[in-house]
Amino acid sequence: MSDEYKSYSRHSDRIMEDARRVRDDNRGGGRHRREGSIGKGSKKLKWKHLKKKGIRMAMAVGAIWLAASVLGVILDGIGFEGVMAAGLATALGVYVFGKYPKMKVPQRPDLLKGDERQMVARTELWLEHQRDSLPRAAQPILQELGGRLDALGQQLAKVPAEHETARDIRKLVGETLPEMVDSYKKIPDHIRTEKRGNSSPAEQITQGLQKISNEIDSITRQLAQGSIDDLAITHRYLDYKYGEAIDGDQDSGVPLPDFDLDKSKAPG
């Protein structure tokens, strides 16, 4: 077998191996999908950070060209070299202020700061930065968890902070969830898939995340039950008051003026 053929064979094997790796990665959720925001709360925090960076970049660029303009007036022109220097300073300013400061990732003690909705947003952002350490099977659950945390945050707006339910939620989302993830991260990589009893640590963290996700969904439904009941009462009232006009062409329960009669009474 010639060296050229061997080289071609090794190159083909490498391509096939890369293709299998991409296939397996896509089956597990795909890297491009895992890198996105898992919830609206974390997405909002990222946009807020990007907005601040954009303002800093605009201010830096404006300051550079203002300084160049003032210098040009004083020196009666800055010449080609001055324009190039200002352009270079602009590019450098955009690069520096576009890259720095990096977005600060919340630490575990930070998760419980602020109100419940802020806690939910910080937890989503914190979870996004733990994804690379979690098993592939847990990636879809993180996306599900992000959506359920968003729904929970909306319901928490009407729950007093001192209420027992609010305290339980803070403990579940701000303490139990991150503690479980950190415990898994402390396990060496080569041990995470080893069976201990009926399951491996990788399976346990995946099942644990699913249980927390289900519990958050259950709490959200309980908090929303009052609104659901209010809507049902309103619907029954509307059905009782105006129900005949909703399903057919029957007259509405609200009396309307007879415009034809009004026209006949008008003076000719």
Per-residue pLDDT of the chain (268 residues; tens, 9 = 90+): 455 444 545 545 554 555 455 455 444 444 434 468 888 888 888 899 889 989 998 998 999 999 889 888 888 888 888 889 889 989 998 888 888 888 888 888 888 888 878 888 899 999 999 999 999 999 999 999 999 999 998 888 777 777 787 888 889 999 999 999 999 999 999 999 998 888 999 999 999 999 999 999 998 888 887 766 666 777 676 676 676 554 555 554 555 455 455 555 555 5
Question: Which stretches within 248-266 are classed as H helix?
Answer: 259-265
* Cα–Cα distances in angstroms (integers) from residue 157 to residues 120, 150, 153, 174, 220, in the given order: 12, 11, 7, 17, 12
CA dihedral 176, 179, 184, 188 (to 10 degrees): -170
Distance from first CA to last CA of the chain, Å, rounded? 111
CA quadruple 207, 211, 216, 220: dihedral positive or negative? positive
CA distance 228 to 47: 32
DSSP per residue, 62-119: HHHHHHHHHHHHHHT--HHHHHHHHHHHHHHHHHHHHH-SPPPPPPGGGTTSS-HHHH
